[in-house]
Amino acid sequence: MDPVLITAAMSEATFAEVITSSSRKLREILFAQMNVKQKKKNLGLHVHEKRDERIRKLHEKLKQASGQREADICRELVRTWLYSKRAMLKAALDFLGIANEDGLVDTEIDFFKELSLERAGELKTHLEKDFPPEHVKIYLEFIEVPQ
């Protein structure tokens, strides 16, 4: 699992959702690491346009990133975003018969890596009934479900 590749492959809309679900500190670290500068602050109607453009530039730069620091930050971005997708996590764990508390478990999740391709396909199909296919793909790649 390469969190930079997972992040770089996201649609712009999903990447923007991932970025905005993270803490401001983490976002600013990644913006600084990837040298995506903030434009001068002007009060007016273009505040969101500037933010959106900055996020687009960051996404483009991540498509060429390869360092360990970027990987660590992207891993944390995806982890934080997935925390906001607890209904999907719960649905996956319930489908597999894993005891959980609203999508969270106290144990390691290595069991996902050991799923058969058939069972992994069933899980993917099950999740895509209720959740966006892109979100399911990101989740399954992140937790290293065989594909």
Nearest residue to 145 via CA among 85, 93, 74? 93
State if pTM tops 0.75: yes
What is the per-residue pLDDT across 6-49, written as a single tens digit (0 to 9) for each? 999 999 999 999 999 988 888 888 888 888 877 665 555 555 66
Backbone phi, then psi, for 42, in 5-degree steps? -125, 130
Sequence spans of domains, the chain: 3-83, 86-142
How many other C-beta atoms can be found within 10 angstroms of the C-beta atom of residue 124?
Answer: 17
| Whole-angstrom Cα Rg for the chain | 17
For residues 4, 84, 80, 17, the Cα torsion angle rounded to the nearest 10 degrees is 50
Distance of CA 129 to the CA centre of its chain: 19
User: What single letter denotes the amino acid at residue 46?
Assistant: H
pLDDT tens-place string over residues 101-147: 988 888 777 788 889 999 999 999 999 999 999 999 999 999 999 98
